[in-house]
Amino acid sequence: MLDSIDDLRFFAEVYASGSIRAAAEKLGISPAGGSKRLLGLEDRIGHRLFNRTTRRLSPTTYGEHFHPHVLTILEGVDAAQRVLANDADISGRLRITASATLARSYLSEVVSSYLNRYPKVSVELDLTDRMVDLIAEGVDLAIRYGALEDSTLIAQQITPCRRLVCASPAYWRDHGMPSSPAQLSAHTALIIGAQRRWVFARDDVQEAVRMRGRFAASMGEVVKQMALDGHGVALLADWHVAEDLRAGRLVEALADWSVEPPIGIFAVYPSRENVSPAVRSFIDHLKQQVSEKPLT
């Protein structure tokens, strides 16, 4: 049982800097005290975490495997400490951008409870499906769903999601339900944006299907309505169609296949430096709400 978060924090700083002295200076302790912490941590877990040379420390294989788990623990501890801090002291304006679909399905409830919890914070919510330039447009935080793209922005995953092949019961009745991805090519697709190439994976097999359709839209909400009306097959996020599936308004096909690439809901912001308390508190609040009330 690890008995000190400070030891884990020191390990993370040594991993980042490659130096006990640099890590000790950053945390305000002596190098000797830092060495004692590191040795104590290694003794408790029963593994050497760093290879020691006269010039630099380099992580062992175990240290490399240990590091991401330590970061997760520290992030959780920091989040808990922020929750325990006086919420009433957090103030200011928070500009958030998110898709209208996500706001209508889930985010509006989160914002409402956040405003109740943080009475000194004002929120401006810009609802759009376009990719907003956070820096150029002065936006503090974006809540996005989809595949995570390479970016200079910082992204924290709030929750993983799945995309599901859905159509109305009437559509499946009239056109037949596919038993393999390849059979989708005979169906009418309802396209979100330019997503005409649907990629599926199961075990070690991957299949790509070029879809044809009579309707495309930039908003998932509109595409879902077309699916509900029986106009074709749509690829929709699980959280977006959960209620419709439970009510039988939509029916999923190819449930034993996953859609590539993996997607999730992410909190995206411009930089790790100078992140405002309002941004941090909103991300923490969103994570808490998702853990207490999952989207699906």
Q: Which tens digits make up the pLDDT trace of 190-234?
A: 999 888 999 999 998 999 999 998 899 988 899 999 999 999 999
Domain edge (last residue) among 84, 108, 131:
84
pLDDT in tens, 18-71: 888 888 888 888 989 889 999 989 998 899 999 887 667 889 999 999 999 999
Specify which residues 52 forms β-bridges with: 57
Mind spelling out the 3-state secondary structure of 131-175?
CCCCCCCCCCEEEEEECCCCCCCEEEEEEEECEEEEECHHHHHHH
My answer on whether 18 and 99 are in the same domain is no
Write out the H or E segment, with its range, that includes residue 237.
strand 233-237
Total number of domains in the chain: 3
pLDDT in tens, 131-158: 888 888 889 999 988 776 656 788 888 8
My answer on whether 257 and 170 are in the same domain is yes
Residue 289 reports pLDDT greater than 60:
yes
My answer on whether 184 and 240 are in the same domain is yes
For residue 239, the tally of other CB atoms under 10 A from its CB is: 20
> What's the rounded Cα separation, in Å, for the pair 106 and 108?
6
pLDDT band at 278 (very low <50, low <70, confident <90, very high): very high
pLDDT in tens, 258-271: 999 888 899 999 87
Domain edge (last residue) among 57, 84, 111:
84
pTM: 0.65
My answer on whether 119 and 189 are in the same domain is no
Residue 235 reports pLDDT greater than 60:
yes
User: Which CATH number fits the domain that encloses residue 256?
Assistant: 3.40.190.290
Contact by Cβ (8 Å): 15, 63: yes
My answer on whether 42 and 188 are in the same domain is no
User: Which CATH number fits the domain that encloses residue 112?
Assistant: 3.40.190.10
Averaged pLDDT of the chain: 88
90 Cβ contact list (under 8 Å, min separation 6):
118, 120, 121, 277, 278, 281
6 Cβ contact list (under 8 Å, min separation 6):
27, 37
| pLDDT confidence of residue 170 | 98
114 Cβ contact list (under 8 Å, min separation 6):
121, 123, 281, 282, 285, 286
Contact by Cβ (8 Å): 48, 62: yes
| pLDDT confidence of residue 57 | 82
Contact by Cβ (8 Å): 140, 253: no
| pLDDT confidence of residue 2 | 45
User: Which CATH number fits the domain that encloses residue 16?
Assistant: 1.10.10.10
pLDDT band at 125 (very low <50, low <70, confident <90, very high): very high
Which percentage of the chain shows pLDDT scores above 70? 94
User: Residue 22 region, left (φ>0) first, then alpha (ψ -120 to 50), else beta?
Assistant: alpha
My answer on whether 126 and 213 are in the same domain is no
My answer on whether 175 and 253 are in the same domain is yes
Which percentage of the chain shows pLDDT scores above 90? 48
H helix runs in the chain, sequence order: 5-17, 20-27, 31-45, 61-84, 100-102, 108-117, 169-175, 220-228, 238-247, 277-292
> What's the rounded Cα separation, in Å, for the pair 87 and 147?
33
Range of the domain at 123: 87-154+271-292
Contact by Cβ (8 Å): 129, 103: no
